[in-house]
Amino acid sequence: MASTGAAAGVRDGGELHVMMFPFLAFGHISPFAQLARKIVAVGDVRVTFLSAAANVPRIKAILGGSPAATVAVLRLPHVPGLPEGAHSTAEVDADGAELLKIALDATRPQVETLLASLRPDVILFDFATPWVADAARPLGVKAAHFSVFSAVCEAYLTVPAHRLVGDFASAPEGFPPSSPLATGVPAYQSADFAYMYATFHGMPCVYDRVEAGNAASDALVFKTCAEMEGPYIEYITAQHGGKPVLVTGPIVPEPPQVTGDDDRWSTWLSTFPDNSVVYAAFGSETYLSSAAATELLLGLESTKLPFLTVLNFPKGTDAEAELNKCMPPGFDERVKGRGAVHTGWVQQQRILQHRSVGCFVNHAGLSSVVEGLVAGCRLVLLPMKTDQFLNAALFARELRVGTEIARRSVDGWFSREDVRDAVAAAVAGDGGEESRWREFFMDDAVQKTFVRDFVDGLRKLKG
Name the residues annotated as catalytic: 28, 126
Q: Which of 226, 196, 274 is nearest to 399 (CA)?
A: 226
Cα-based distances in Å from 70 to 61, 86, 221, 304, 316? 12, 22, 21, 49, 32
169, 184 contact by CB (below 8 A): yes
Helix (H, G, I), strand (E, B) or coil at 244: coil
Q: Which of 433, 357, 359 is nearest to 394 (CA)?
A: 433
Q: Which of 455, 460, 3, 403 is nearest to 230 (CA)?
A: 3
Q: Please state the three-class secondary structure of 321-351 as a single string.
A: HHHHHHCCCCHHHHCCCCEEEECCCCCHHHH
**Maximum alpha-carbon separation in the chain:** 67
CA-based radius of gyration for the chain = 22
Helix residue spans in 303-415 (DSSP H): 319-326, 331-334, 348-352, 366-374, 386-392
Instruction: Tell me the one-letter amino acid at 204.
Output: P
